[in-house]
């Protein structure tokens, strides 16, 4: 969102400098409001996720397995023997790393015997299963990582320079290059959606079919993973809204 703030300030300065006043098109204002609304929704979803995780972190897993043990069991049941379960610092920093072939579980998951810990551990192993089965969206996301890292770092400066050139020369090319770079982040967020939802589906399917979790606890795990998935949905909507904002901004300069 830093690049959005910088360019909004630059846009305001441009209009003032040309004597046109701080006038924004209805489309630009609409997109700005949309981004604010999505930001508020994202905060609400994150707050709800934290509340749900805290709630089910207090519910003990009937089988008495820790998050690490659940992860190891799911990997074995899926005949995956080249992935190691490790411990990482932090809260909800859990992730699967295909480069090191590790399922990394956070402080609140690795040694915990709660329903929340079991759900998160199974979800991360869902990514390991995706990798083992060559799940196409996961492969695509991994391929996009280096490109997105570069474009995210450079997009702010490209857009800012592009707006300066647009104001002085009416040349839009650099602006559209910047929009394309921001679009890479949006594409990454969109591709992430099926990856995350599918990992949760694999986790819940295994938890039920293996009888690792049943009844009320399975419903609780499903709720926790559903709220986690919604954070990625909000992130994707925010990324798309940012791209549209810049499109409206550039098109508005033509008037």
Nearest alpha-carbon partner for 124 in 223, 206, 62, 239: 206
Q: With left for phi above 0 and alpha for psi between -120 and 50, is residue 182 left, alpha or beta?
A: alpha
Do residues 144 and 187 touch, judged by C-beta distance below 8 A? Answer: yes
124 is catalytic: yes
- Mapping DSSP to helix (H, G, I), strand (E, B) and coil, where does residue 80 land? coil
Give Cβ neighbours of residue 20 (< 8 Å, ≥ 6 apart). none
* Catalytic one of 124, 172, 208, 223: 124
Look up residue 182 and give its two tokens: 């921001």
Work out the burial of residue 188: count CB atoms within 10 Å of its CB; fewer than 13 is exposed, 13-18 middle, 19 or more buried. buried
Any idea which residues carry the catalytic annotation? 124
């Amino acid at each position: 969102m830093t690049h959005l703030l910088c360019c909004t300030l630059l846009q305001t300065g441009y209009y003032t400098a040309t004597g046109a006043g701080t006038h924004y098109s209805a489309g630009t204002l609409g997109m700005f409001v949309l981004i604010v609304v999505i930001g508020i929704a994202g905060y609400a979803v994150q707050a709800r996720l934290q509340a749900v995780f805290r709630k089910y972190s207090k519910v003990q897993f009937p089988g008495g397995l820790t998050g690490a043990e659940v992860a190891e069991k799911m990997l074995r049941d899926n005949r995956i023997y080249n992935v190691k379960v490790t411990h990482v610092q932090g809260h909800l920093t859990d992730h699967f790393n295909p480069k090191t072939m590790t399922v990394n579980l956070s402080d609140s998951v690795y040694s915990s015997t709660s329903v929340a810990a079991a759900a998160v551990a199974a979800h991360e192993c869902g990514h390991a299963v995706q990798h083992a089965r060559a799940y196409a969206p996961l492969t695509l996301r991994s391929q996009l990582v280096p490109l997105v890292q570069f474009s995210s770092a450079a997009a702010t400066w490209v857009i800012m320079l592009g707006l300066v050139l647009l104001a002085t020369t009416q040349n839009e090319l650099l602006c559209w290059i910047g929009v394309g770079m921001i679009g890479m982040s949006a594409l990454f967020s969109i591709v992430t959606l099926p990856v995350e939802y599918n990992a949760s589906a694999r986790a819940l399917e295994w938890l039920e079919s293996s009888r690792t979790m049943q009844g009320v606890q399975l419903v609780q795990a499903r709720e926790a993973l559903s709220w986690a998935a919604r954070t990625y949905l909000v992130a994707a909507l925010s990324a798309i809204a940012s791209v549209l904002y810049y499109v409206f901004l550039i098109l508005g300069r033509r008037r």
